[in-house]
Amino acid sequence: MNHRLAAATVSLLVCVPAFAATSPYAIADHSTPTLIDKATVDAIWHANLPEARVAKIYPANKFGFLSQVVGGLVGGQTCVVTARAVMLPRTSPTRRLVWEPVKSSAVFDSKPNLTAAQCSDLAAEKLKEAVQSLATSLVKT
């Protein structure tokens, strides 16, 4: 019986720090799928949000993030993009995100004579700028 208790204690000590260190923020995305995909959005968030530093002030169990990238080709050639990154609180019992923005950042741009692929690249660039701007407002760099 003591061996089982010791084994359980050791496994808890090994597993708990691993889970605590990687507690990700909830990131919701409401972007135009033809403009930017979910994998790109997630990569931009994780690359540009200093999660460890932000978590010291805004715990992941109490806050989450939302991104929205909309726009596309207007008139077949002009790419118009709006990217928004928002920090939202989470409700207590269900931990769902609530639309009561704590901080937000929005970036706009338009460029003529772009292809659909170039417009998607512009959308990713603008989301990166919005996330970096939001991160700067949350923690000092």
Give how far Cα 29 sits from Cα of 7, 13, 111, 120, Å. Answer: 41, 34, 24, 16
Q: Which class for 98: exposed (0-12), middle (13-18), buried (19 or more C-beta within 10 A)?
A: exposed
Within-domain flag for 72: yes
User: What's the helix, strand, coil split of the chain in %, to 5?
Assistant: 45, 30, 30
Which pLDDT value is given to residue 8?
42
Look at residue 16 and tell me if it is in a domain: no
pTM: 0.80
75 band by pLDDT with thresholds 50, 70 and 90: confident
Residue 103's H or E segment, with its range, is: strand 103-111
For the chain, the domain total comes to 1
Domain of 63?
25-138
Q: Which residue has the higher pLDDT, 76 or 110?
A: 110
Q: Is residue 31 part of a domain?
A: yes
pLDDT (tens digit, 9 = 90+) per residue, 104-141? 999 999 999 999 999 999 999 999 999 999 999 998 76
Q: How far apart are CA 39 and CA 113, in angstroms?
A: 26
